[in-house]
Amino acid sequence: MRKNIVWNTMGSIFYCACQWLITVIVVRVGTYQDAGYLSLAMSTSSSFSAISLFSMRSFQVSDVKREYSSDIYVGSRILTSFFAFFSCVFVSIWGNSFYQILCIMAFMLVRISEALVDVMHGIDQKYNHYDYIGKSYICRGIVTVVLFSVIQLLIKDVFIALLCVAIINLLIAFFYDWRKAYHLEHFIPVIRTRKLIELLIKCTPIMLFNFILSLETLLPKNILQQKYGVEALGIYSTIASPALVVQVFASVVFNPFLPAIAQIYVNKDFIKYRKIIHNIYLLLVVLGVGVTAIAMLLGKWGLKLLLGENILQYYELFMPIIWCTFLMAIIWIISAILTAMRKLKLLLAGIVGDFIICSFTMDYFIGQYGKNGVSFVQLFVFTIYIIYMVVVLEMVIRYQIRKEGKKTYV
């Protein structure tokens, strides 16, 4: 397990750091406007990445009963990836310039490669080959940074750089990740089958949950761009980029434990399950305190080192962004637990209500607090949703304990 955690954590963080690094590079060799183009492409494609992924990874790795075969999982991923790409292209036409649309399309291809790799990593994880996962992340991270940097230095064109990065990521997905997963389990992607439709229907609530959650991060940024321009969005996104490491770290460290936690729930050992969940709560609190302390101590020094002294004039954006990304990590972790418990409709119902609150408050927050308003509205709605998920989780576990107690008594 320690080896698995190391491969999964280090690989994921390395890849995330490399994606963050290109947001630093685009500022160093370009302008805040270029950073705005990159941020818009990343944010918009992220929303449709929820469709391509269909939020199936947690469902796949917690499928301890092997209800669906890898043929079905891979086939469904191919289908959802095609749908996500063309949906993203269609939606991006409204409200964006032609160049912005091209950047969004290019980064959406990167998201498609990530979606294909994700389902392969689900197979790797089932066979405890986290070394394949870690090496894939490291390889794609290095290639992404090197290729993006070289093209930006030579021609300073965000679209061309993103397109080249997308092509090389797709090639790695097919020639490394696909081959490694196929070596572990010979699968033939199946698209036209009733089981695939059944799987997609089961995962639709969690897909919609992640799509709506991504909108809670995208729409406030769009309002910021509309009110204050692409440069303001670029400044906010540049400050936000280092904080993503916090979010990824908190979620990927937890990921290897999910199948074991799901197995305990399936085995109906609910007392032990509740104890584990409470330990996770405690760990998240300790981690949150630690992240806050480190960010306060090293924040200014780190931003100056990475982004230059000029960025310090916007330092007031940093701590709210750190807290936002950490709350998002908590949402990922608790939602993965509820997904393993198959409480998908409850997840969806909560995020719909949360999104309605976000829709009615984001314009006020951004109008009142400017760039910091993006963080403040997210802090507000993320906190509400975390409280909701914890209440749901505790109620479900308590119900299961009482139910098993009655069976034992009878």
Express each pLDDT in 133-192 by its tens digit: 999 999 999 999 999 999 999 988 999 999 999 999 999 999 999 999 999 999 999 988
The CA distances from residue 312 to 118, 308, 316, in Å, are 37, 8, 8
Token pair belonging to 93: 């036409």
Give mean pLDDT, residues 367-374: 91
pLDDT top residue among 161 and 3: 161
Express each pLDDT in 297-322 by its tens digit: 988 888 888 777 888 888 899 999 98
| Cβ atoms 350, 385 nearer than 8 A | yes
Rounded percentage of the chain residues whose pLDDT exceeds 90: 44
Q: Using N-to-C axis directions, what is the helix angle for 371-409 and 194-228, rounded to 10°?
A: 150
Phi, psi for 294 (deg, rounded to 5)? -65, -45
For 9-38, b/e burial (b = at least 16 CB within 10 A) is bebbbbbbbbbbbbbbbbbeebebebbbbb
pLDDT at position 406 is 60
- The residue with tokens 């290109």 is 22
| Cβ atoms 359, 220 nearer than 8 A | no
- The residue with tokens 């709210």 is 320
Token pair belonging to 196: 């695939």
Give mean pLDDT, residues 236-244: 72
Q: pTM of the entire structure? A: 0.75
pLDDT at position 34 is 86
Express each pLDDT in 372-410 by its tens digit: 999 999 999 999 999 999 999 999 999 888 887 665 444
pLDDT top residue among 59 and 279: 279
pLDDT top residue among 55 and 356: 356
pLDDT at position 263 is 82
Q: How confident is the model at residue 30 (pLDDT cuts 50, 70, 90)?
A: confident
- Cα separation of 252 and 144, whole Å? 20
pLDDT at position 256 is 67
The one-letter amino acid at 341? M
Span of 42-51, 160-169, 193-202, 232-241 with lowest mean pLDDT: 232-241
- Cα separation of 267 and 202, whole Å? 21
Token pair belonging to 95: 């409200």
- Cα separation of 335 and 339, whole Å? 6
- Cα separation of 233 and 221, whole Å? 7
The mean pLDDT value of the chain amounts to 87
Q: Look at residue 119 and give its three-state secondary structure.
A: helix
